[in-house]
A and B are shown apart, each in its own frame.
Chain A
Amino acid sequence: MSATMSSMTLARDSLQAHEPSAGWSTWLVRQGYQRLLVLRAQIDLYYFWEKRWFFFVLGFGALMLSLAPPHGLSQEGWVMLIMSGAATVLFITHPVPLPTVALLIIVGQVLLVGVDSDIVAGNLMTDSVLFIMGSLMLAVAVVKQKLDKRIAWSIVRITGTRTVNVCFGISAVCGLMASFIGEHTVAAMMLPVGITLISLTAQNPARIRNLSAFILFSIVFGCTTAGIGTPSGGARNAIMIGYWQEFFYNPANPATRRYVIDYLTWMLYGYPLFIAQLLFVTPILYFTFRPERQDLSRAVAKLRLQIELDGPMTPGAWLSVFIFILIMIGWITASQLIGMGTVALLGTCAFLVTGLVKWEDINSGVNWGVVLLYAAAISLGVEMQTTGAASWLADQVFALFAPIGLGSGLGLLAGVAILTAAVANTMAPGAAVAVLGPIVLKLAGPTGADPIQIGFITAFASAFAYLAVASSPASTIVFSSGYLKISDFLRVGWRMALMSMILLLLQAEFLWPLIDHWR
């Protein structure tokens, strides 16, 4: 630096940094203007800006509560409706940690609606919630078994090394597994497989952007399309089964027995749609992202080497496969008797007792806040139904749907499917079903539609959240790898959504009546 600059240094004289604001305990003891400055800096930086939606919801909710309920709706129903709307906005914008929304729902039911706190607490733990909790614990246990390399190798052995075949193999195997153990589990397991294939193909990921997208989306869509296949494919399915049972099943009336949907019945409705979608996944991906390499033989050879270095399957790995098959058999055969949640918890216990997974892993791998959130959302749905808010809202939706030809038959199903897919694209599918479920099931009343069909449409359409990254578990997990762009999801998502929607409505029109007849 020149001599003329000796009296001024860069650090002091150019763009002098402000002192960072200290913690709250420090500014509390500061005096006068200093305190005001620091307080203002704190507010500017974090508080009101970050939490603006929370305050907006709080203020708007308070305003709505002060108004009289609309005609035909009880005061309790009005409160539940406002709470449900507020929860939906908070789900989408999450200005506060999501479990906070769950706690607010619980507190709101007691304080605003006046439901006995024991009843609210009782509503929180249903078999659906036990199932969601159990399957999340199982997910961690399964991911920890390191079966992913074996699965990858067995895919490649069947499909050969052509890119299109490998990708179809990945989608099919991801789908088959995800339909039983949940899409998040399979996405977490198969992500390294996809990235290994990409990184072994070329050093510079920018050169094979399309190939990367092709492989990674094969995992994403294999998982998401399969989530509808069985009840254990996702939390949303368990939630819908719980709602049917809660709203329509009456043990004293044998005719309502059909509302208790068992594992196999769900598969009858879900599996054909999953398989039909699976056939379209690879062609859609191929035409959207034309891969730069048509053959993956170099990557496959290196993958094979990695797997051979790992040696043969350990007894522990065989044991976990065995437990896993037992859990699936349990879901199919015993879930009617002891509940799906109990089977999932039994499976988790088996993994823990045999020492295949540590509790610490399960404890840190499961987001317990989400379990609480689903519990609270389901109890909110049950209260929506009890207070009549769901029926009132269903009437309003019907009044909107009817004039545009969506009031009955296939039109109604299409309306419900589009509504659900739109909501699921803005928040997670599980939350979308929890919030929308009671309303659309109540739509069955005025429209004369079958609640089972409407329920299936809602649960299935919630899986069509292909457009946004944060709206499906598999997308979020694969996106966390950093190889995909948000625009990639939009590019391929609308094609997938369109295809899935057409297939869903075709099956609802032609296949489901046959299944109903057969049941």
Chain B
Amino acid sequence: MTVLDQLKMLFGRPPVSAMAGTAAVKPRRRPPTHHEKAVQKQLDELRRRRRERFRILVCIDGSEEANEALRMAAYLGRPDECDIILLYVRHVDHGLASGGLQVRVARQNMLDWGIELPGIRDLREGLELLKSEGMTLEGWTYSIAHTDVWGDPLGDNKVEYRDETTGRSIVLKLKTAPDTASGILDQYELGPYNLMILGESSRWHSEFRSIFFGGSVVQKVAMLAPCSVLVARKGSHQKTGFFICTDGSARSTDGVKRAAVLAKTCGAPITLFAVAPTLKGRPFAREAVENARALLKSMRIEVAHVKVAVGDPAEQIVRHGANYKLIVVSDEGRTRLQRVFKGSVSYEVVRDARTSVLDVR
């Protein structure tokens, strides 16, 4: 049975991603050259192998918030089939700011003195943090790869630690990009990844303001990432439990199923939550959580608690979910324009929550 068949069986209909996956191997109109074929075959094989693993991309910058993201990655990525990729994005200088002298010259000078560049130091500290969270790399092999990008010879650097028995890997990636957010999104294209984890940002513009003034890296990635995004917040590692929200829609039910699998593999207790906008809608909210509970039961996943609240959905989720390790919300799949005018509950929760939030896509 192929992966696609299993997905069809589990989810009823194949997700778009799976369809796109099959399209990638469709024969081209123009017959490819021998070399192209070989490269394509290699890429397809690599991608196929990667899709069988749960890949977490953790974006770090050396801050406290980034350490929280690392702790969260260590927590979620314990099973053997999880790969963790630590990413540090370094800016390419536009030249005007450095007066026309490439910043690379200064960086090269630092290397000549034997000083570590900040990205390297942060990645190494990140790896140490993963080890302190219980990940042992003993007996693992490692390989180093380097690519020149954006005309910067310091370019992209990758160190991959690999456990040959389980196939599990931890990758440290130092990447050069014109800006951090586009570097992270570009890294997804090289992936794919199942989940991106970022530390909370202190700067978060409203949806409308962000069109003109941009936003923080976290905001941009949360807006544009094609996969699920987890925003880690300080202090959430001391809490327990997944706080999974549903509104009864097909999309959110799908999100509940997927998050519940993750919760089960982590051994975390699940609390299901639904919000009714008015008292009148309370029975519908109750029905939504009960349906979700029944669905998870059919998947043999236990639900610890169910909760229902009345009021503004984003506000209630933020309030009731504050004491859990992770709030899980499903993305409504709205476009940017729709979000500007209609708003987005998941987006508001990601922005305002007082604990870590997983936005499932």
Contacts and interface: CB of A to CB of B under 8 A. Distances in A.
Interface string B79-120: 101100000000101111111111111110110110101110
B182 A136 contact: no
B105 A140 contact: yes
Contacts of B226: 18, 20-21, 41, 45
Contact of A4 (B81, B257, B258, B300): B300
Contacts of B82: 10
A44 B62 CA distance: 29
Contact of A184 (B54, B100, B112): B100
Interface string A39-77: 001001110011010000000000000000000000000
Contact of B19 (A34, A481, A483): A34
Contacts of A195: 110, 113, 115
A423 interface: no
Contacts of B30: 29
Contacts of B211: 52
B250 interface: no
Nearest to A482: B118
A364 B190 contact: no
A189 interface: yes
B109 A427 contact: no
A257 to B, nearest CB: 31
Contacts of A191: 106, 109-110
B191 interface: yes
A164 to B, nearest CB: 24
Interface stretch (B3-11, B139-147, B155-163): B3-11
A50 B261 contact: no
Contacts of A8: 10, 261, 299
Interface in A411-456: 427-428, 430-431
A374 B96 CA distance: 9
A184 B101 contact: yes
A196 B115 contact: yes
Interface in A199-239: 199, 234-235
Contacts of A252: none
Interface stretch (B20-28, B128-136, B274-282, B307-315): B20-28
Contacts of B299: 8
A14 B261 contact: yes
Contact of B105 (A12, A20, A97, A188): A188
Interface string A1-35: 10011011111111111111110001001100010
Interface string B203-239: 0000000010000000000001011100000000000
A183 B102 contact: no
B105 A143 contact: yes
A132 interface: yes
A365 B51 contact: no
A185 interface: yes
B164 interface: no
A461 interface: no
Interface in A469-508: 469-473, 475-477, 480-483
Determine chain A's interface SS by DSSP, over half rule: helix
Given A20-B190, A192-B115, A364 B102 contact: yes
Given A148-B109, A365-B101, A482-B62, A17 B224 contact: no
Contacts of A50: 182
A88 B153 CA distance: 31
A97 B179 CA distance: 12
B120 to A, nearest CB: 10
Given A10-B79, A188-B101, A365-B102, A29 B95 contact: no
Given A15-B228, A19-B17, A477-B101, A192 B109 contact: yes
B103 A477 contact: yes
Contacts of A482: 62, 117-119, 121-122
A140 B101 contact: yes
B195 interface: yes
Contacts of A10: 54, 79, 81-82, 261-262, 265
A139 to B, nearest CB: 5
Q: How many interface residues does chain A have, given as a range?
A: 35 or more
B74 to A, nearest CB: 15
B interface bracket (residues with beta carbon within 8 Å of A) = 35 or more
Given A17-B17, A195-B110, A427 B96 contact: yes
Contacts of B115: 192, 195-196, 199
Interface string A359-372: 00000111101110
A136 B101 contact: yes
B97 A476 contact: yes
Nearest to B91: A480
Contact of A5 (B16, B97, B102, B265): B265
Nearest to B182: A50
B93 A17 contact: no
Nearest to A23: B189
B80 to A, nearest CB: 9
A11 B54 contact: yes
Interface in B1-55: 3, 6-7, 10, 15-21, 23-24, 26, 28-30, 47, 51-55
Given A1-B265, A10-B82, A16 B96 contact: no
B259 interface: yes
B200 to A, nearest CB: 16
Interface in B170-202: 182, 185, 188-195
A94 B79 contact: no
Contacts of B17: 16-19
A103 B336 CA distance: 32
Contacts of B353: none
A13 B93 contact: no
Nearest to A22: B24
Nearest to A471: B97
A91 interface: yes
B264 interface: yes
A299 B17 CA distance: 56
B153 A364 contact: yes
A14 B185 CA distance: 20
Contact of B262 (A14, A189, A234): A14
Interface in B327-361: 336, 360-361
Contacts of A7: 6
Contact of B28 (A29, A37, A370): A29
B224 A45 contact: yes
Contacts of A11: 51-55, 81, 194
A13 B105 CA distance: 47
A4 B296 CA distance: 12
A19 B21 contact: yes
B185 A45 contact: yes
A120 interface: no
Contact of A18 (B93, B110, B192, B224): B192
A38 interface: yes
A17 B261 contact: no
A344 B356 CA distance: 56
Nearest to B53: A11
B189 to A, nearest CB: 4
Nearest to A191: B106
Contacts of B109: 143, 148, 188-189, 191-192
Interface string B237-270: 0000000000000000000011101101100000
Contacts of A369: 95
Given A18-B192, A37-B16, 7 more contacts: A5-B261, A34-B19, A44-B336, A184-B98, A365-B101, A371-B100, A473-B98
25 contacts: A11-B55, A13-B10, A15-B54, A16-B17, A17-B192, A17-B194, A20-B192, A37-B20, A139-B105, A140-B105, A143-B109, A148-B109, A182-B99, A188-B101, A364-B102, A365-B104, A366-B100, A367-B93, A370-B100, A371-B100, A427-B96, A472-B97, A480-B107, A481-B110, A482-B118
